[in-house]
Amino acid sequence: MTKSLVSISDLSKEEILALLEKAGEFEKQPNQRLLEGKVVATLFFEPSTRTRLSFETAVNRLGGRVIGFSDAKTSSQSKGETLKDTIMMVSNYADLIVMRHYLEGAARYASEISPVPIINAGDGANQHPSQTMLDLYSIYKTQGRLTDLTITMVGDLKYGRTVHSLLEAMQYFNPTFNFVACDELKMPDQYKRFCDKLGIKYTETTEFSEDIINQTDILYMTRVQRERFSDLMEYERVKSIYTLRASMLENSKDTLKVLHPLPRITEIDQDVDDSPKAYYFQQAQNGLYARQAIICRALGIKG
């Protein structure tokens, strides 16, 4: 059976665990010819080199072939073609479509009209489920479990889609969250209500203190974007408050890992990079294995 993946909420707990297990197998052996004879289209209506290379590497390492475009300017969309027509045309050629689009809901709509499965590689500010899967895999791999962990999210909790999706995905695993953000960028009410409804414990603070870091298993940093602020002075202030420095990790748990969806700007100081607790570069590498697992699920390949 083939299955699209548009939103992290499309996955049950069992499916998440199955994907993580599969990702673990790909980490042990990334080169497996499971996609022999398959063609995967990567349609990037919005450029995202990092995500595209990760998906294309995943296909290549599984022995499949890739077609597609990396910028909408080079597709017929620039001639005014509808998304529907592009999807219908490409589905004649490919067994699977991986798409990134600047409009929210584009992947959901594509999955409704496409005869081949769709993997959402990001739709505007909405969903990016393969990022969430690689976050989960990174947590699972570094902590040896997903259950009963304390996850501290720092930075832009208002617009950061990765923190929202991670929060939703962790609902099955009894997490405790600490939300650390300035008032302008705090966790939206709808996600706090989500936690309340499911009995998920959380604290909320504007102070990025060592006290909180020391209780934490996973420190999930996010980028504070300048365009979110009308007052640039405020931006500069917030940016420096929510910057992680190596000295702040001194009394943290040995098993603590620092995650970041990347690209990082200044929110993690360079001096953290040398700490064994820094995990953001390996985290990105885990994206390959997570995406291999997602591609196999989409095509119904057991392997």
Partner 1 sequence: MIKKELAVAALKNGTVIDHIPSESLFKVVSMLGIKNLTSSVTIGFNLDSEHMGKKGILKMADVTFPQETLNRIAVIAPTAIINVIKDYEVVSKHKVVVPEELNNIVKCNNPKCISNNEPMRTRFHVIDRENIVLRCHHCECTVHQNEIVLK
Q: Which is nearer to partner 1, 6 or 180 (CB)?
A: 6
Active site residue 161: no
d(CA 186, CA 108): 27
Told to check if 102 binds partner 1 by CB under 8 A, we report yes
Q: Which stretch binds partner 1 (CB under 8 A): 97-105, 169-177, 245-253, 264-272?
A: 97-105
Judge whether 164 counts as a catalytic residue.
no
Burial of 161 by CB count in 10 Å (0-12 exposed, 13-18 middle, 19+ buried)?
A: buried
Minimum distance, C-beta of residue 127 to partner 1, in the bound complex (Å): 7
Name the one range near partner 1 by CB under 8 A: 78-86, 145-153, 223-231, 256-264.
78-86
x/- site string to partner 1, residues 256 to 275, per CB under 8 A?
--------------------
Q: Are 205 and 178 in contact (CB under 8 A)?
A: yes
Alpha-carbon span 111 to 13, nearest angstrom = 22
8, two tokens: 């992290």
Beta-carbon contacts of residue 171 (< 8 Å; ≥ 6 apart): 194, 198, 200
Q: Is 106 in the site for partner 1 (CB under 8 A)?
A: yes
Catalytic residue among 38, 52, 61, 100: 100
Q: Does the footprint of partner 1 cover residue 83 (CB under 8 A)?
A: yes
C-beta atoms surrounding 83 within 10 Å: 18
Does the active-site annotation cover 51?
A: yes
DSSP state of 101: E
Contact 266, 221 (CB under 8 A): no
Nearest residue (CB) to partner 1, 84 versus 245 = 84
B/e letters for 228-258, b = 16+ CB within 10 Å, e = fewer, are ebeeeeebeebbeebbbebebbeebeeebbb
H/E stretch holding 65: strand 65-69
Interaction of residue 101 with partner 1, rule CB under 8 A: yes
Looking at beta carbons only, is 107 or 244 nearer to partner 1? 107
For partner 1, the binding residue among 24, 30, 47, 124 (CB under 8 A) is 124
Q: State the nearest-atom distance from the C-beta of 123 to partner 1, in Å.
A: 8
Q: For residue 78, what are the contacts with CB-CB under 8 A and spacing of at least 6?
A: 72
Selected binder of partner 1 within 51, 70, 126, 283 (CB under 8 A): 126
Kindly tell me which residue out of 15, 21, 36, 104 binds partner 1, with binding defined by CB under 8 A: 104
Q: Which is nearer to partner 1, 166 or 244 (CB)?
A: 166
| Binder among 56, 123, 135, 217 for partner 1 (CB under 8 A) | 123
Which 3 state secondary structure label does DSSP give 261?
coil
* Residues at the contact surface with partner 1, assessed by CB under 8 A: 7, 82-84, 101-106, 108-109, 123-127, 190
Active-site amino acid positions: 50-51, 79, 100, 128
